[in-house]
Amino acid sequence: MMGGGGGGWMGPERSLGGLSRTFGLNNRNVGSGERQPIRIERDQLRRVAGYFAPYWRQWLVIFACIAATSALGVLPPLAVRGILDQAIPDKDLRLLYLLVAAIIGLNVVGGLISVLQNFVNARVGEGIVFDLRNGLFRHLQKMSLPFYTTTRAGEIVSRINNDVAAVQGVATATLIAIVSNLMTVVATAIVIFAMNWRLALLAIIIVPGLYLPTRVVGKFRRRLSQQTQETQADLLAFLQERLNIGGMLLTKIFGQARADADVFTRHNRRVMELNIRQALAGRWLFLCLSVFSVTGPAMIYAYGGYQAIQQQLTIGTIIAFVAFLTNLYRPLANLANVYVDVQGGLAVFERIFQFLDIEPEVQDKPGAVALPSAQGHIRFEAVGFAYPTSGDAGPFALDDVSFEILPGERVALVGPSGAGKTTITYLLPRFFDPTAGRVTLDGHDLRAVTQESLRAHIGMVTQETFLFHATVRENLLYARPGATEEEMIAAAESAQIHAFIGSLPEGYDTVVGERAFRLSGGERQRISIARALLKDPRLLVLDEATSNLDATSEYLIQQALETLLRGRTSLIIAHRLSTILNADKILVLDRGRLVEAGRHEELLARGGLYATLYRQQFSRVEEARGGGFATAPKG
């Protein structure tokens, strides 16, 4: 058979879907491998802040709540001092009950403010995650085909799911913790210095001791956070490959269940070990901070007790002061932990920004115009193209290819495997741009029109039919969501698939299953043709796929294809002799060059490559069928 990309003419080398033999085999898994340590730079922080800025009104509410909570937090110890130093010694029951009620009331009010703060905080955090995930998804939609051939699907899903979800902790906790703890520290420091400046100096003298363990553990946690995210991405990629219908079939067919389970165990153990190390790193920091936080109160009791014995300080003041130390050391310890969390958060942002910073290889030029309509006049003018390999252009897949397709013409592409047939079909919808020369549609250089408007006029039916895990109706309407029920049914009837759909348990609302595995190859192909018919494109790119189908399915698809091709400009990678015989023009490619062009009879008479390929592939088929392909009526 004649095939494009990886099928058809069997040669000593095989291409992968029309891509060069190394293209896509050089794993460009963004984030894997060794990487330089992340530096906290002003530009990076400014970029992160850009996601917080749209919620400035909510931030004002949150900060007001934090300020109110911090102010209320310094009042209970003062009330305790009043109870010990005034109400009890003076036997003033009214003052005692008033101060006790104040302690309870302050906690109730603080709790209500905290509820409001958490509500607004959650809205902000979820909003930031929503914006970031949306932006990342839309950016990934713009990425060119090379990105998806060199990046694992699991890695992509991990970035948009796990990494973005991890950002929520930074958005909802880290910034709030920084502001809240700073305000609490400032408020507490003001009060304790006002109470007794000597004790205050004694309390804060140990604060610098918090810095060193925080810095050391922060760097360690940041590195672990980065490694954990990457390991989880590896695990997710492995799961996605093995736990889908295709991967599971291969596992069962080749008896690799035990080997795959061992690989999964290794990935899973690596994730477990990294999470344990992160948890232990946090506990070691907590131990260091606990030692310093206990040292402060002990020093206050020692020096304050001495002053009390000398009758220079009251017991209530000592008790209140120690209570204030909780408001001082706890926020400082939290700030130390926040620093560690910021390290991990920046590592997650770094991974997300890596994807956001990848520029699509095919982009709309500034000033690109929309193509409102298309007649279907295609020209390839001295087109050369080389697939990128590891960042550099590889050997040319097309070399100085020129041809013209008039509106409504049916053109067949034939040639050995790797000749460049699929590459030509990729250039027309601008999955890639030419390395040299240009491709035009109705006189417009394709690089001068918007991709969206160009692809609106192009339909594709490929060998490997892809259907979503959704209903037949949803798969069909994906081509044109606004189509009516009558238009959808008409397309299905033209594709010879309506009767089959009607026999399904729920008709058009039947779910086709993962990769439409519940359907046969012929049924999937006819649904794909119906989808293309529903779009009603002016130009059609067709990679026929009937070689592996039974005779009935092949006949039905032939009928559907004739309906699909009628009246459209079509570029077809030919697998069937009838396509070649019915083509208005045949383009023969070999090693990226156009070596022959003409109709079937003309090319046979020349005795060139086409005649050789024809004799090898179709002469016996034509004899066996009595020239049936040549005489088969269209439709």
* pLDDT value at residue 515: 65
Q: Cα dist. 122→58, 59, 111, 182, 561 in Å?
A: 10, 11, 16, 21, 54
| In a domain? residue 133 | yes
Which range scores top for mean pLDDT: 72-76, 247-251, 281-285, 512-516?
A: 72-76
| In a domain? residue 264 | yes
Provide the residue range defining the domain that includes 245.
42-356
| In a domain? residue 463 | no
Least confident of 142-146, 224-228, 350-354: 224-228
85-137 residue pLDDT tens: 888 888 888 888 898 998 899 889 988 998 998 889 888 888 888 898 888 99
163-206 residue pLDDT tens: 887 777 666 677 777 888 888 888 888 888 888 888 888 888 77
Percent of the chain with pLDDT over 70: 80
CATH number of the domain encompassing residue 73: 1.20.1560.10
Q: Report the distance separating Cα 85 and Cα 93, nearest Å.
A: 13
Give the pairing type, strands 444-445 and 436-441: antiparallel
| In a domain? residue 407 | no
* pLDDT value at residue 146: 78
Query: Is the pLDDT at 504 greater than 80, yes or no?
Result: yes
Output the CA torsion sign for 111, 113, 119, 123: negative
How many beta carbons lie within 10 A of that of residue 167, not counting itself?
22
* pLDDT value at residue 28: 44
Q: Which residue has the higher pLDDT, 461 or 153?
A: 461
Tokens of 503: 């026999």
Nearest to 537 by CA among 570, 507, 560: 570
Q: Helix, strand, coil % (nearest 5) of the chain?
A: 65, 10, 25
Output the CA torsion sign for 599, 605, 610, 614: positive
pLDDT tier, 389 (very low <50, low <70, confident <90, very high otherwise) = low
526-553 residue pLDDT tens: 888 888 888 888 999 988 655 555 667 6
Instruction: Look up tokens 């006790």; give the residue.
Output: 100
434-443 residue pLDDT tens: 999 999 999 9
Q: Report the distance separating Cα 262 and Cα 280, nearest Å.
A: 27
| In a domain? residue 118 | yes
| In a domain? residue 126 | yes
Query: Is the pLDDT at 625 greater than 60, yes or no?
Result: no
Give the pairing type, strands 392-405 and 378-389: antiparallel
Mean pLDDT of 244-248: 68
Query: Is the pLDDT at 403 greater than 90, yes or no?
Result: yes
* pLDDT value at residue 379: 95
The DSSP secondary structure of 481-525, one letter per residue, reads TT--HHHHHHHHHHTT-HHHHHHSTTGGG-B--GGGTTS-HHHHH
* pLDDT value at residue 634: 35
* pLDDT value at residue 411: 93
* pLDDT value at residue 167: 78
Query: Is the pLDDT at 283 greater than 80, yes or no?
Result: no
Tell me how many domains the chain contains.
Answer: 1
545-583 residue pLDDT tens: 555 556 676 777 777 777 778 888 999 887 677 678 888
| In a domain? residue 244 | yes
How many beta carbons lie within 10 A of that of residue 314, not counting itself?
17
* pLDDT value at residue 372: 87
Query: Long-range contacts made by residues 502-506, C-beta under 8 angstroms, separation at least 24?
Result: 504/472, 506/471
* Average pLDDT score, the chain: 79
The DSSP secondary structure of 136-186, one letter per residue, reads HHHHHHH--HHHHHHS-HHHHHHIIIIIHHHHHHIIIIIHHHHHHHHHHHH
Which range scores top for mean pLDDT: 165-179, 287-301, 328-342, 484-498?
A: 484-498
* pLDDT value at residue 628: 41
Mean pLDDT of 465-473: 85
| In a domain? residue 512 | no
Which range scores top for mean pLDDT: 6-10, 135-139, 273-277, 618-622?
A: 135-139
Percent of the chain with pLDDT over 90: 18
pLDDT tier, 476 (very low <50, low <70, confident <90, very high otherwise) = very high
Mean pLDDT of 21-27: 38
